[in-house]
Chain A
Amino acid sequence: MSIIYKARPTQHLGKPVKRKEDPKLITGRGLYVDDIKLPGMLYAAFLRSPYAHAKIKSIDVSKALRIPGVVAAYTGKDFRGKIGPIPTGWLLTGADLKVPEWPAVAYDKVRFAGEIVAVVVASDPYRARDALDAIEVDYEPLQAVVNVEDAIKPGAPQLHEGVPNNIAFRWRLKGGEDFEDISKKADKVIKQRMVNQRLIPSAMEPRGAVAEYNRYTGELTLWVTSQNPHVHRLLLSGILGIPENKLRVIAPDVGGGFGSKIPVYPLEAIVARLAMDLGRPVKYVETRRENFLGTIHGRDHVEYVEAAIKNDGTVLGLRVRTLANMGAYLSTAAPGVPTILFGTMLSGPYKIRSVDVEVTGVFTNTTPVDAYRGAGRPEATYILERVMDLVARELNMDPADVRRKNLIPEAPYTVVTGLTYDSGKYLEVFERALKIADYEGWRKRQIEARKEGRLIGIGIASYIEVCGLAPSRIARATGFGLGLWESAIVRVHPSGKVTVYTGTSPHGQGEDVAFAQIVAEELGVSTEDVEVIHGDTALVQFGMGTYGSRTTPVGGGAIALAARRVREKARKIAAALLEAREEDVVFEAGRFYVKGAPEKAVTIQQVALAAYTAEKLPPGVEPGLEATVFYDPENFTFPYGTHVCVVEIDRETGGVKILRYVAVDDAGIIVNPMLAEGQVIGGALQGIAQALYEEAIYDSSGNLLTAGFNDYMIPTAREAPKIESYFYETPSPHNPLGVKGIGETSTIASTPAVVNAVLDALAHLGVRHIDMPLLPSKIYKVLKEKEVG
């Protein structure tokens, strides 16, 4: 791990401080939802539809009820009116969005395999499963449609009443010059259809919930696998009709999310309802198969891409027509992912003068999709970076030269889609990445290797990402259901120890220590003296949660501002203690002293005690030492960078081996390089997995063929290459820390870097494009064809 360009010296930021949560997690003392056991707890199990599309004629639960230990059994009709429909939270302005009803438990029709049709509750989880087998359902199977291109054809099976042709929405964005006009100025227009296949997030911890209801106080407590407990509380309060102040949502330790633990799902609402009706705590945790069927999927686009180009490699304009598979219903943030988070990013780090994108959201008989790591931005970057390489092929140029021609040299820069990038030296970082990866050297080695019949390829991906998801004003203008600010309390105790309450809800990112570093930097305390509280709506004031790489820029920004407010109050108290004028008091490394007299100082700890003993407080200063901040940044942040990947293809098997992978990222000021590097490495493997291994596959009748780790190929340690991670710091002017966010960058960059490398290895054989995942079998077939042909 190394920071190749450091923006400014800092005391605590930029240090690889070890994580605070690790001791409990490495000793098995974490507390995940499934670890919660309450007295008298009951266990729920869900019967899920084996059909992707069917009418439910009748359901008989009477036999299930006769099984010893079974306490209750319900069908969808029992929940009607008691659990409101699962809401869509991003109501996409100006797109004629259709939001069909998504019942928590299907009652008349099922629309994807895995949809819940009945619920049983028993005293023990094994009994609950037994009972599922005893439920009799009479289905009338209907023809299913799983593919977007088929779903919009006339005569296709229709999923929802009032949604003709299965079209959920059409969203269009035109920026800059008209594409038709610019095509006339172009030397060529190149076209390509490309598929961004459906992925399954596969957090290692399945989703689940435990609910406990106190009928005397009316309080409902819900432990949920959640990235955003306050959002869960808000939406569930609506779904269940419980006032928010009576609903407590706790995200204990959460075993990974990658977006899949943002949405509100039927399960949380069902478990809550059961606990209320039965007067006993209820738990449900999904199995892996249920996770694959019932938890959101990601990506799943078919793209028709046209690029207007000049013979010198300039890309003048892009026209993109996207069919986005939404699955059977619109999950919480789903409409915004293939539109706002995708279309606005289509000019990436390039000076493209025209972007014309139209996205058609389509319903199919598949699991709903939503935000999966990167959410929309990987799909946009994939198109752009494939286009850059296609241009290079078309014009016989080096792919690096095509990018040099088109890259924005530096920020600030406003692109035609309307975004203004904050800070960055795009070309400089690009050149550095190429140099570190020895791009020129590999090009030479590639030629040598080809002479020996070896297939080596070099792939580049430059990306920029809109993240630090925040300004409420912009979020609301796009139809997002909530503001996107973040809250923090920094509370200094009389002892001088600090507790931070953050509205973000980290679930593996290690923000406990990162936030402690931020407070340490601002207040001059040690990181050990800072404790961070998150994930419980009863403890934390409010917050939007952890996703979209917003936690450090927005959540960390709120904490920095709160700490600064604390410091200003402390300075007032220090001035009183030092019997000096406030303006003369200097703060340095945790001590206050009068300018020019550093030997006579009071520490922040002494000030804290004075703030609580409250005898020498200056007039107008309240006792106590804490500050609350609700922080709404003015703009997004824009991390960017360049990744370079070198691969070799095995001619015998078609297998791809990554020989070298270099990531150079500018995520602004790096708070903790150890954590940042961890995000880069883990994220890169997720993106590489899309390029090479992963794909959710449905058969034509809507069965998910990849419904477990046997068939859905998430990489193991043997597939994982070494990732070399470097950081270049240009502070973002959009938040008090100058940070940008790092959670998704390498998932975005790695997919096209790897695909470009593989196709580069095959380019001399005349291969132009292969759709992901680039499995050995696919490559082998292409190699055979080329050998024969």
Chain B
Amino acid sequence: METLERVRITVRVNGKLYTHEVEPRLLLVHYIRDYLGLTGTHIGCDTSNCGACTVILNGRAVKSCTLYAFMADGGEILTIEGLEKDGKLHPIQEAFWENHALQCGFCTPGMIMTLYDFLQRNPKPNEEEVRRAIEGNLCRCTGYQNIVKAALWAAERMRGGGGGR
């Protein structure tokens, strides 16, 4: 097999601009993890089922194991590492900590990124809507109950409410 041709891509990730030459077949998740060293984006499956690899691409949550890196060319990506602002946790992150919404933490970054997108589009969700929103993110540890609780807690915080248990 000959060396595969490479394509040049430029992406803005967590506010920083990167340019790389990559193989066309390189998956976005591997680009993020291996080229950029942002290992908070996890790989839990090879079937686009688990959502551990979810990042925000051009404003929408995507499973980065399902896209090639070149498909993100010219785009803007937000990963879990880019969520904190000025050293302060994002309300969703805080909500996860506050409500014991994680155990092993492996599904957590993907879960948080999915909710980040969802809560922008639906700032006042009910429980059913939250459950539907994270249906594509599998968690084997928590039984989801506290994740749902955290999502509602975060939604309230983000709307300017007091949050709270």
Q: Which residues of A contact B (CB under 8 A)?
A: 16, 18-19, 21-23, 25-32, 34-35, 37, 67-68, 125-126, 130, 202-206, 253-256, 258, 285, 287-289, 507-510, 674-675, 677-678, 681-686, 708-710, 714, 716-718, 720, 722-723
- The answer to whether A678 touches B109 (Cβ under 8 A) is no
Residue B103 at the A interface, CB < 8 A?
Answer: yes
Query: Between A and B, how many residue pairs show CB distances below 8 Å?
Result: 183
Residue B71 at the A interface, CB < 8 A?
Answer: no
Please, how many angstroms separate the alpha-carbon atoms of A677 and B84 in the complex? 28
Q: Mark B129-165, 1 if CB is under 8 A from A, else 0.
A: 0111011111111111111100000000000000000
Most buried by B among A204, A205, A508: A204
Q: A37-B37, A716-B136, A717-B139 are in contact. List 5 more A-B contacts (CB 8 A).
A: A26-B80, A28-B38, A205-B42, A289-B47, A686-B140
Kindly provide the distance from the CB of B117 to the nearest chain A CB, expressed in whole angstroms: 16
Contact of A723 with B143 at beta-carbon distance under 8 Å, contacts A28-B81, A68-B3, A255-B106 already known = yes
Q: Which residues of B contact A (CB under 8 A)?
A: 1-3, 23, 25-26, 30, 33-34, 37-47, 49-50, 52, 79-81, 83-84, 89, 93, 96-98, 100, 102-109, 112, 130-132, 134-148
Secondary structure class of chain B's binding surface, majority of residues: loop
**Chain A neighbourhood of B79, CB < 8 A:** 28
- The answer to whether A708 touches B100 (Cβ under 8 A) is no
Please, how many angstroms separate the alpha-carbon atoms of A682 and B140 in the complex? 7
* In the complex, residue of chain A having the shortest beta-carbon distance to the beta carbon of B106: A255
- The answer to whether A709 touches B104 (Cβ under 8 A) is no
Please, how many angstroms separate the alpha-carbon atoms of A23 and B42 in the complex? 17
- The answer to whether A204 touches B138 (Cβ under 8 A) is yes
- The answer to whether B1 touches A720 (Cβ under 8 A) is no
Please, how many angstroms separate the alpha-carbon atoms of A32 and B33 in the complex? 12
- The answer to whether A29 touches B106 (Cβ under 8 A) is no
- Which of B1, B41, B45, B135 is the one whose CB lies under 8 Å from A288? B45
Please, how many angstroms separate the alpha-carbon atoms of A16 and B99 in the complex? 10
* 6 A-B contacts (beta carbon < 8 Å): A27-B81, A27-B84, A28-B109, A35-B33, A204-B140, A288-B49
- The answer to whether A27 touches B93 (Cβ under 8 A) is yes
Please, how many angstroms separate the alpha-carbon atoms of A296 and B49 in the complex? 21
- Which of A67, A204, A253, A507 is the one whose CB lies under 8 Å from B139? A204
- Which of B25, B33, B103 is the one whose CB lies under 8 Å from A256? B103
**Chain B neighbourhood of A23, CB < 8 A:** 89, 97
Please, how many angstroms separate the alpha-carbon atoms of A683 and B40 in the complex? 26
- The answer to whether A682 touches B142 (Cβ under 8 A) is yes
- The answer to whether B47 touches A288 (Cβ under 8 A) is yes
- The answer to whether B45 touches A256 (Cβ under 8 A) is no
Please, how many angstroms separate the alpha-carbon atoms of A678 and B37 in the complex? 31
Please, how many angstroms separate the alpha-carbon atoms of A716 and B98 in the complex? 22
Please, how many angstroms separate the alpha-carbon atoms of A23 and B93 in the complex? 8
- The answer to whether B135 touches A718 (Cβ under 8 A) is yes
* In the complex, residue of chain A having the shortest beta-carbon distance to the beta carbon of B98: A18
- The answer to whether B143 touches A28 (Cβ under 8 A) is no
Kindly provide the distance from the CB of A725 to the nearest chain B CB, expressed in whole angstroms: 9
- The answer to whether A255 touches B105 (Cβ under 8 A) is yes
- The answer to whether A289 touches B46 (Cβ under 8 A) is yes
Most buried by B among A125, A507, A683: A507
Closest 6 pairs (CB-CB, A-B): A28-B40, A255-B106, A508-B104, A25-B105, A28-B80, A709-B49
**Chain A neighbourhood of B38, CB < 8 A:** 28
* In the complex, residue of chain B having the shortest beta-carbon distance to the beta carbon of A67: B1
Please, how many angstroms separate the alpha-carbon atoms of A708 and B49 in the complex? 9
Please, how many angstroms separate the alpha-carbon atoms of A675 and B99 in the complex? 10
